[in-house]
Structure 1
Amino acid sequence: MPTDFVTYLSQINNAVIAENGNDLAYLLRPTSPQGKDLVKEFRNPTKQTLRRFEGAIMSPWDEIAISYVLTCSHVARKRPGEAFKEHSQLVSSFFRFFTENRGWTLPALFSILRDLRDLAFDADLHAKYNDEKSEAMEEAARIIAKAFSNCITDRTSPPDQSRKWGIYYVVGLILKCYFRVKRISLAKNILRALHANDIPPLTSYPRSHQVTYRYYIGMLNFLNEDFEKAEEELTLAFYHCHTGAHSNQERILMYLIPLRIIRGHLPANELLDRFPVLKRLYMPFISAIRKGDLSGFDRALDAAEHTLLGLNVWLTLEKAREICMRSLFRRAWIASDKSTRMPILVFYVSLKISGIEITLEEAECFVANMIHRGYIKGYISHERQMVVLSQASAFPKIADRQAPFSYMTL
């Protein structure tokens, strides 16, 4: 049976009195069935035409209900900019109630903030395609940041009913907004406030909140070239990610795979088979590393340059070229019966065969670089043009190399 506005007001009022956060979240979602019913009831609603309903239920829920109808109307008529503005009013009205209540309101808060971000995305996209200016996502970030302050400053609610249990979900939404508008530096203020307050440990929060937070912290560290911390956070995010959240796993692996390659861990074929997009992107590099095919690695870099630059992983994969070269030199060593004394000419010829046009002096520099960075254990006798290799472990395992990320920021 269709829901009319009077019935909707009653449902809102009942959810508030019963302190039922999940019902309230459902009633405030523009995509819920009652939204379409209300759009049909009010053909062209405005603030003025709906003003007669003010005072029908306790404040601010009368205002929130009116804003909800207007938001649904704008969404139905494909006016994303107006929908975002009206929903922003709904969120602001909700904050007046939220700051005076306990954590039962968190499901509703999560729902309206998620819708706020989605509507901001639609508004900016619509403006872009119509050559208009829109800063809806930045405005959404500012509004969501107020919710963060309201959560983190709750010092009166009992621990199990504290608004602090919404902190990491809200932080995740803020970081999503900052990444969307490329204002990543603004994250410092949020994280500083997060670390300066007394809140429960991250592991106490729902797993989905943990995964989102760790992903964005990993990404922040990745972009700040703290690759060791980035790998740690992204690894935790991946292993805690729900197995059914395929797109989230793919997003995490997009950055985790290059970091693991630098560490010397190539992804298994079984893993890549689960993620065809990642397989198409990274398999050419993985195959080149396994074969020691330097020219193949370079071709893969050129072919995927635009995509890799857009993902900010081009430089990371370019550093993995050293691992491909190490594979090539190791093949030359095996072909020489694992001799402990190898002429530099052998490495020079292996590079030539791989399609790399260089001089003998440049080949010597490459070998010296491999030794310096721990890929080869030995030394060079320049006078004799000979490489003297360790008997025990001429080519140590890449995974055992100390500080594998230390040369990536040079």
Structure 2
Amino acid sequence: MYTEDYVLATTTFYNEENGLALANFFSLRDNSSKDWSQKNTIDDLQKIAEDNELDFEVEIVAHLNVLKAVSEKKYDEAFKGQLAIFQNIVKYLQSSDSENWMVPLANTVCVDLRYLLNAFDTLDSSSKKQKLEKYNDFQKKYIDSMMMYFRICSGDTRAPARHSKRWTIMFIVNQMLKVYHKIKKFHLTTGLTKTILMCPDKNIFPVAHVVTFYYYTGCKEIFEGKFNDARENLIIAFERCYRKSIKNKKLILQKLIPLNMLQGIMPSLNLLKKYDLDVFMDLTTSLKTGNVKLFRECIDKHEVCYMKCGIYLVLQKLINIVYRNLFKKFFLIANNHIIPVETIAALLKKFDDPETSFDNAQSLLVNMIYRGTLRGYLSHAHKKVVLSKKDPFPTGRHVFDKTTRSINEIGHK
């Protein structure tokens, strides 16, 4: 597509208030837009602007400059140009009451703006210190512009449903959640997520936006140690996710499976194979069998993967479930609710650490009783652990609730 065709088409879409077509023409990911930028120059565009009355001239020129900067890998210039386009569109939305036709364009431009922010952070060749300063400045400007966009859309309460801008507020929050997820500053999104959760009618939001929102909200709550809330939100995300979106379902399961494991709910082999989650196969086996050595080997082997997924610390908490299942198997064999601590130490030497001492075994038992993984008490005088005759090994749900409650209490002191 050549300049004149592009400009006239863009102007036509603007005059017809065709936001979707305009968004496609302004997308940095659109092939026709890229081809157009390679075939023409800004001089051609300005000459056409002189011969025609263009309503969108400033934005078209800025878009061409952004495409040029991207092709030259000048991501700081590209970000500044894209930010200017986004701010102009937001100002237009602010001045237009009861109109939402430009929302698709604003959404496309703000997504590309976030991509440019990430591209600058990843690909820019500036010195580390200089790049960090610029990145922080760009990030602040991005968030400020998004907050302005959010306020405009959330305040559009009087317009009829089909003309309202409110349906896009979840999309805006999702973009900010993605930025804060990268830098691990979830606490800055608490007010935004509450606004969405308090919406009386969540059916106004597209399903794709809902899935993204609940996924990142679940990630936020894992980071904050609110495992019950995180699990509920991730279940919503998984259930509403399009059934053929295998990649997205896999991302959700990477967070959800460890939370289910804390409740004693193990994934099936078919589920792990379907979503290519081999990193959980041996882990599941170790939990079911109480194999402490296998559990530790899995954690060490896939440590980098677990850290990238943000679940490493959650998986570390599963060690108590492994010990619980190991002791349960021994208890069923011994058929006695009074067990010497020395026997537990010998058991741990065989199935965990060969150097386990009496004191180590005693400390582990005390910790498990405190956390609710084991019901009973420790008799220091007789050096024995006395297990409860009724349900000495609580279900995963009970352990999960007690552990989560204690973590949250510690976190708020």
Match of 1:279 in 2: 278
Is 2:76 the partner of 1:86? no
From the superposition, tell whether residues 142 and 352 of structure 1 become closer, same or farther in structure 2 (CA, over 3 Å): same
Give the alignment's Cα RMSD to 1 decimal. Answer: 2.8
From the superposition, tell whether residues 408 and 127 of structure 1 become closer, same or farther in structure 2 (CA, over 3 Å): same
Distance in 1 separating the partners of 2:363 and 2:34 = 70
Percent pairwise identity = 24
Pick the aligned partner of 2:113 from 92, 113, 116. 116
Equivalent pair of 1:332/1:347 in contact (CA under 8 Å): no
CA deviation after TM superposition for structure 1 residue 311, in Å: 4.4
Equivalent pair of 1:381/1:387 in contact (CA under 8 Å): yes
Pick the aligned partner of 2:299 from 298, 301, 325. 301
Is 2:192 the partner of 1:190? yes
Distance in 2 separating the partners of 1:288 and 1:24 = 54
TM-score normalised by L of structure 1:
0.87
TM-score normalised by L of structure 2:
0.86
Match of 2:212 in 1: 212
CA deviation after TM superposition for structure 1 residue 69, in Å: 1.9
Distance in 2 separating the partners of 1:327 and 1:382 = 24
Count of aligned residue pairs for this structure pair: 400
Distance in 1 separating the partners of 2:183 and 2:360 = 44
Q: Deviations over 1:313-349 (max 9, x none)?
A: 332222110011011101211222x333333333222
Distance in 2 separating the partners of 1:19 and 1:317 = 51
Match of 2:67 in 1: 72
Matches within 5 A, 1:6-405: 6-43=4-41, 45=42, 50=46, 53=49, 56-57=52-53, 59=55, 61-99=56-94, 100=96, 102-127=99-124, 131=128, 132-133=130-131, 134-135=134-135, 136-191=138-193, 199=199, 201-276=201-276, 278-280=277-279, 282-336=280-334, 338-356=335-353, 357-401=355-399, 402-405=401-404
From the superposition, tell whether residues 382 and 36 of structure 1 become closer, same or farther in structure 2 (CA, over 3 Å): closer
* One-letter amino acid of the structure 2 residue matched with residue 204 of structure 1: I
Q: Deviations over 1:71-130 (max 9, x none)?
A: 222233333322222222221222232221512222222211111111221122222576
Q: Which moved more, 1:299-308 or 1:353-362?
A: 299-308
* One-letter amino acid of the structure 2 residue matched with residue 288 of structure 1: S
From the superposition, tell whether residues 106 and 96 of structure 1 become closer, same or farther in structure 2 (CA, over 3 Å): same
From the superposition, tell whether residues 110 and 28 of structure 1 become closer, same or farther in structure 2 (CA, over 3 Å): same
CA deviation after TM superposition for structure 1 residue 310, in Å: 4.8
Partner secondary structure for residue 404 of structure 2: coil
Partner secondary structure for residue 405 of structure 1: helix
CA deviation after TM superposition for structure 1 residue 381, in Å: 3.9
From the superposition, tell whether residues 6 and 349 of structure 1 become closer, same or farther in structure 2 (CA, over 3 Å): same
Structure 1: 5+ residue runs without aligned partners?
Answer: none
CA deviation after TM superposition for structure 1 residue 215, in Å: 1.5
Equivalent pair of 2:283/2:295 in contact (CA under 8 Å): yes
Distance in 1 separating the partners of 2:182 and 2:50 = 37
